[in-house]
Amino acid sequence: MRQRISIASIAMAIAAGLATVAIADVGDADSFGRPVNFLGMAQTAGASISSDCTGYPAGTCATIANPAASTTITFTGGEAVITLPARAANSLLCFTVTSLGGISLSNFTTLKQVASADISATWRIESTALADPALINTGTGLPFNGAVVGGMTIDSESRTLGPGDFVNVNPVHSRSCISGHLSRRGLMASGLTAAQARAVFNGPITVRFGSSASATFAFATSKYGVRIYGD
Protein backbone atom coordinates (compact mmCIF):
# COMPACT_ATOMS: atom_id res chain seq x y z
CA MET A 1 0.00 0.00 0.00
CA ARG A 2 1.45 3.38 -1.02
CA GLN A 3 2.05 5.75 1.89
CA ARG A 4 0.70 9.26 1.45
CA ILE A 5 3.13 12.07 2.33
CA SER A 6 1.60 15.40 3.21
CA ILE A 7 2.88 18.76 1.97
CA ALA A 8 3.32 19.78 5.61
CA SER A 9 5.64 16.79 6.19
CA ILE A 10 7.71 17.72 3.18
CA ALA A 11 7.94 21.33 4.32
CA MET A 12 9.05 20.22 7.79
CA ALA A 13 11.73 17.97 6.31
CA ILE A 14 13.04 20.80 4.13
CA ALA A 15 13.04 23.17 7.08
CA ALA A 16 14.96 20.64 9.17
CA GLY A 17 17.61 20.43 6.47
CA LEU A 18 17.87 24.19 6.09
CA ALA A 19 18.26 24.64 9.84
CA THR A 20 21.74 23.13 9.67
CA VAL A 21 23.28 26.09 7.82
CA ALA A 22 26.06 27.98 9.58
CA ILE A 23 26.00 31.64 10.58
CA ALA A 24 29.30 32.12 8.77
CA ASP A 25 27.66 30.96 5.54
CA VAL A 26 24.38 32.91 5.55
CA GLY A 27 24.70 35.59 8.26
CA ASP A 28 21.34 34.75 9.85
CA ALA A 29 20.89 31.03 10.39
CA ASP A 30 17.82 31.46 12.63
CA SER A 31 15.58 32.77 9.84
CA PHE A 32 17.26 31.05 6.88
CA GLY A 33 14.77 29.26 4.64
CA ARG A 34 11.75 30.25 6.73
CA PRO A 35 8.69 31.83 5.07
CA VAL A 36 7.92 35.52 5.52
CA ASN A 37 4.76 36.15 7.55
CA PHE A 38 3.02 39.53 7.33
CA LEU A 39 1.96 40.53 10.82
CA GLY A 40 0.14 43.85 10.61
CA MET A 41 0.29 47.47 9.56
CA ALA A 42 -0.32 50.92 11.04
CA GLN A 43 0.02 54.65 10.34
CA THR A 44 1.29 57.26 12.78
CA ALA A 45 -0.46 60.52 13.59
CA GLY A 46 2.84 62.28 12.91
CA ALA A 47 4.99 64.94 14.57
CA SER A 48 5.40 68.40 13.05
CA ILE A 49 7.54 71.52 13.45
CA SER A 50 5.73 74.66 12.34
CA SER A 51 5.54 78.41 12.80
CA ASP A 52 1.92 77.98 13.95
CA CYS A 53 0.58 74.84 15.64
CA THR A 54 -3.06 75.96 15.73
CA GLY A 55 -5.36 73.06 14.91
CA TYR A 56 -2.82 70.28 15.47
CA PRO A 57 -3.80 67.47 17.87
CA ALA A 58 -2.25 67.86 21.31
CA GLY A 59 1.40 66.86 21.47
CA THR A 60 1.89 66.48 17.72
CA CYS A 61 3.36 69.92 16.90
CA ALA A 62 6.25 72.09 18.13
CA THR A 63 6.27 75.82 17.42
CA ILE A 64 9.50 77.37 16.17
CA ALA A 65 10.69 79.96 18.69
CA ASN A 66 14.04 80.71 17.02
CA PRO A 67 14.65 79.44 13.46
CA ALA A 68 18.43 79.51 13.99
CA ALA A 69 18.15 77.10 16.94
CA SER A 70 17.21 73.44 16.61
CA THR A 71 13.54 72.70 17.30
CA THR A 72 12.73 69.06 18.09
CA ILE A 73 9.64 66.97 18.77
CA THR A 74 8.84 63.31 19.41
CA PHE A 75 5.28 62.02 19.61
CA THR A 76 3.99 58.51 20.30
CA GLY A 77 0.23 58.19 20.43
CA GLY A 78 -2.18 55.29 20.64
CA GLU A 79 -3.08 55.15 16.95
CA ALA A 80 -0.08 53.10 15.71
CA VAL A 81 0.07 50.17 18.10
CA ILE A 82 0.32 46.56 16.92
CA THR A 83 -0.19 43.70 19.39
CA LEU A 84 1.14 40.35 18.25
CA PRO A 85 0.06 37.02 19.78
CA ALA A 86 2.56 34.58 21.24
CA ARG A 87 4.80 32.87 18.65
CA ALA A 88 3.75 35.24 15.86
CA ALA A 89 7.37 35.07 14.67
CA ASN A 90 10.16 32.57 15.19
CA SER A 91 13.28 34.71 15.57
CA LEU A 92 12.87 37.97 13.66
CA LEU A 93 10.64 41.05 13.40
CA CYS A 94 11.18 43.54 10.59
CA PHE A 95 9.48 46.85 9.78
CA THR A 96 9.00 48.47 6.39
CA VAL A 97 8.46 52.22 6.82
CA THR A 98 7.05 54.41 4.03
CA SER A 99 7.24 58.18 4.53
CA LEU A 100 4.10 60.31 4.39
CA GLY A 101 5.82 63.46 5.68
CA GLY A 102 8.02 66.19 4.29
CA ILE A 103 10.63 68.88 4.90
CA SER A 104 10.67 72.55 3.93
CA LEU A 105 14.04 74.29 4.21
CA SER A 106 13.52 78.04 4.56
CA ASN A 107 15.78 81.08 4.87
CA PHE A 108 13.87 84.28 5.55
CA THR A 109 16.96 86.21 6.61
CA THR A 110 19.20 88.54 4.57
CA LEU A 111 22.27 86.29 4.99
CA LYS A 112 23.27 82.80 3.85
CA GLN A 113 22.17 80.13 6.32
CA VAL A 114 22.65 76.40 6.73
CA ALA A 115 19.20 74.84 6.91
CA SER A 116 18.77 71.26 8.13
CA ALA A 117 16.04 68.85 9.18
CA ASP A 118 15.61 65.21 10.09
CA ILE A 119 12.46 63.10 10.21
CA SER A 120 12.51 59.72 11.91
CA ALA A 121 10.45 56.74 12.99
CA THR A 122 10.62 55.56 16.60
CA TRP A 123 9.31 52.41 18.25
CA ARG A 124 9.02 50.62 21.56
CA ILE A 125 8.86 46.82 21.38
CA GLU A 126 7.29 45.54 24.62
CA SER A 127 7.46 42.03 26.08
CA THR A 128 6.69 40.75 29.57
CA ALA A 129 9.72 38.46 29.15
CA LEU A 130 11.88 41.61 29.39
CA ALA A 131 10.24 42.95 32.55
CA ASP A 132 12.61 41.26 35.03
CA PRO A 133 14.75 44.10 36.51
CA ALA A 134 17.69 41.68 36.67
CA LEU A 135 17.83 41.61 32.86
CA ILE A 136 20.40 44.20 31.84
CA ASN A 137 20.74 45.51 28.30
CA THR A 138 24.51 45.41 27.76
CA GLY A 139 24.16 48.06 25.05
CA THR A 140 22.81 50.64 27.51
CA GLY A 141 23.97 49.25 30.85
CA LEU A 142 20.38 49.61 32.11
CA PRO A 143 17.51 47.16 32.70
CA PHE A 144 15.34 46.43 29.67
CA ASN A 145 12.31 47.59 31.69
CA GLY A 146 10.06 45.43 29.58
CA ALA A 147 11.00 46.80 26.17
CA VAL A 148 13.51 47.31 23.39
CA VAL A 149 13.50 50.90 22.11
CA GLY A 150 14.70 51.84 18.62
CA GLY A 151 14.20 53.98 15.56
CA MET A 152 15.35 54.84 12.06
CA THR A 153 15.96 58.02 10.08
CA ILE A 154 13.43 58.43 7.28
CA ASP A 155 15.10 61.45 5.69
CA SER A 156 17.88 63.91 6.55
CA GLU A 157 18.48 67.16 4.66
CA SER A 158 21.12 69.88 5.04
CA ARG A 159 21.73 72.71 2.54
CA THR A 160 23.19 76.19 2.42
CA LEU A 161 20.44 78.60 1.43
CA GLY A 162 20.77 82.12 0.13
CA PRO A 163 18.55 84.93 1.41
CA GLY A 164 14.90 84.14 0.69
CA ASP A 165 15.61 80.61 -0.58
CA PHE A 166 12.97 77.95 0.02
CA VAL A 167 13.28 74.22 -0.81
CA ASN A 168 10.62 71.52 -0.38
CA VAL A 169 11.65 67.87 0.02
CA ASN A 170 9.02 65.14 -0.01
CA PRO A 171 10.61 61.70 0.46
CA VAL A 172 8.68 58.96 -1.31
CA HIS A 173 10.92 56.00 -0.48
CA SER A 174 10.45 53.09 1.90
CA ARG A 175 13.02 51.78 4.35
CA SER A 176 13.21 48.20 5.57
CA CYS A 177 15.51 46.16 7.80
CA ILE A 178 18.60 44.00 7.38
CA SER A 179 19.44 42.22 10.62
CA GLY A 180 15.94 42.73 12.07
CA HIS A 181 14.48 45.41 14.30
CA LEU A 182 13.98 42.65 16.85
CA SER A 183 15.83 39.37 16.50
CA ARG A 184 16.66 36.46 18.75
CA ARG A 185 20.36 36.84 17.96
CA GLY A 186 20.20 40.59 18.59
CA LEU A 187 18.65 39.99 22.01
CA MET A 188 21.44 37.56 22.85
CA ALA A 189 24.00 40.16 21.76
CA SER A 190 22.30 42.56 24.20
CA GLY A 191 22.86 40.24 27.15
CA LEU A 192 20.07 37.64 27.12
CA THR A 193 20.62 33.90 27.19
CA ALA A 194 19.31 31.78 24.32
CA ALA A 195 16.38 30.68 26.49
CA GLN A 196 15.52 34.25 27.51
CA ALA A 197 15.63 35.41 23.88
CA ARG A 198 13.34 32.56 22.85
CA ALA A 199 10.93 33.51 25.64
CA VAL A 200 10.48 36.95 24.06
CA PHE A 201 9.27 35.43 20.79
CA ASN A 202 7.27 32.73 22.59
CA GLY A 203 5.12 35.37 24.30
CA PRO A 204 2.93 38.25 23.08
CA ILE A 205 4.70 41.37 21.79
CA THR A 206 3.33 44.91 21.54
CA VAL A 207 4.96 47.48 19.24
CA ARG A 208 4.22 51.19 19.70
CA PHE A 209 5.28 53.39 16.79
CA GLY A 210 6.00 57.12 17.07
CA SER A 211 7.42 59.99 15.04
CA SER A 212 10.32 62.37 15.62
CA ALA A 213 11.53 65.51 13.85
CA SER A 214 14.18 68.19 14.27
CA ALA A 215 14.70 71.37 12.24
CA THR A 216 16.88 74.45 11.94
CA PHE A 217 15.74 77.09 9.44
CA ALA A 218 13.17 74.52 8.39
CA PHE A 219 9.68 73.13 8.86
CA ALA A 220 9.18 69.37 9.04
CA THR A 221 6.57 66.66 9.42
CA SER A 222 7.47 63.09 10.30
CA LYS A 223 4.60 60.77 9.44
CA TYR A 224 4.65 57.29 7.96
CA GLY A 225 2.93 54.01 7.31
CA VAL A 226 4.53 50.84 8.66
CA ARG A 227 4.15 47.11 8.04
CA ILE A 228 5.52 44.39 10.32
CA TYR A 229 6.68 41.02 9.06
CA GLY A 230 8.61 38.13 10.58
CA ASP A 231 9.82 34.60 10.03
Q: pLDDT by residue for the chain (231 residues), tens digit each? A: 445 555 555 455 455 554 578 877 777 888 888 899 999 999 999 999 999 999 999 999 999 999 999 999 999 999 999 999 999 999 999 999 999 999 999 999 999 999 999 999 999 999 999 999 999 999 999 999 999 999 999 999 999 999 999 999 999 889 999 889 999 999 999 999 999 999 999 999 999 999 999 999 999 999 999 999 999
Given a contact cutoff of 8 angstroms between Cβ atoms, the answer to whether 207 and 39 are in contact is no
Instruction: Please check whether residues 16 and 57 belong to one and the same domain.
Output: no
What is the domain extent for residue 7? 1-34
Instruction: Please check whether residues 15 and 67 belong to one and the same domain.
Output: no
Instruction: Please check whether residues 26 and 90 belong to one and the same domain.
Output: no
Instruction: Please check whether residues 14 and 60 belong to one and the same domain.
Output: no
Count structural domains, the chain.
2
Instruction: Please check whether residues 135 and 183 belong to one and the same domain.
Output: yes
Instruction: Please check whether residues 153 and 42 belong to one and the same domain.
Output: yes
